[in-house]
Amino acid sequence: MTGMKPQVMVVIPARYGSSRFPGKPLVKLGQKPLIQHVYEQAASCRSVTEVLVATDDERIRETVERFGGRVAMVTGDYRTGTDRVAAVARTVSGEYFLNLQGDEIPETPALLKDLIDSFLGCDAEMGTLKRAMGTDEALDNPAAVKVVTDSDGHALYFSRAPIPLVRDGIRGQVVGGLHYLHLGLYIYRREALLRFASWPTGQLEDAEKLEQLRALQQGMRIRVWDTSHRSLRVDTPEDAAEVADKLRRHESRKQDSPIGGTVSAR
């Protein structure tokens, strides 16, 4: 290292097509489309060098350019968002790439900072975040991905199922210190990202529809750090209305207080 700031590129994969919610990146949440909310939160993180939306859709490209964002047209049949991020990495320079899902709005830029600063301070190839689940959150919700880690903070498994299962506990009840939510952002070193994209889809990944399981099945260790920050996830049209309302209330609290508030989310 020569004292220069590490170059960290955030890539936001954004597809127009979605079986449950076509056109999701362009849905309006308040005065802005979803993709703009995600982009602006990433761009305001001081640990981030550059933000880029990766898409194959002209409507998304036009929307991103309209609000002043950078966009790369990445055409082709890509299995996952990370594979699309890897396609970007093949065409640009840089050592660190962060995959931020285009339907997950960080509550605060500090969420990205928690991941980036931790990752740059270690020798991990791939990293992500977890947050302790609250007792009011639905452990059985398959849209909420859970993660279990070892004593050194490496992922043992990710699942849409309620893991770990407390055999003698109450079904669906969150237990403090046991149940953690996985947040949908990953950071990679370039070589690890390209290696990930070269692997075939594994049985675990295909079963759970979780791309990070490809890495685990191939033996790549994933370092997981704790964060107290949340994100707002849009999976369905119904989610969009709920998230828009949370954003309005969050902005209102920020205007009423110099500290601001937090929004309940993932």
Query: Tokens standing for 6?
Result: 């590490």
Tell me, what's the pLDDT at 259? 44
Is 187 part of any domain? yes
pLDDT at 266 exceeding the cut of 60 = no
Is 28 in a helix, a strand, or coil? strand
Is 2 part of any domain? no
Tell me, what's the pLDDT at 260? 42
Is 183 part of any domain? yes
Tell me, what's the pLDDT at 239? 87
- Omega within 30 of 0 (cis) for the link into 13: no
Residue 71 phi/psi, 5-degree rounding, is -145, 145
Tell me, what's the pLDDT at 99? 98
pLDDT, tens digit, 9 for 90 and up, residues 19-41: 678 899 999 999 999 999 999 99
Q: Any residues with CB less than 8 A from the CB of 151 and at least 6 apart, and which?
A: none
Global confidence as pTM: 0.90
Residue 113 belongs to what domain range? 8-256
Is 209 part of any domain? yes
Work out how many domains the chain is built from and give that number. Answer: 1
User: Which ranges in the chain belong to alpha helices (H)?
Assistant: 34-43, 58-66, 81-89, 110-120, 190-198, 203-208, 212-217, 237-256
CATH number for position 61: 3.90.550.10
Beta bridge partners of 131: 181
Is 241 part of any domain? yes
pLDDT, tens digit, 9 for 90 and up, residues 44-56: 999 999 999 999 9
In the numeric block, the tokens 């980036």 are attached to 116
Tell me, what's the pLDDT at 5? 81
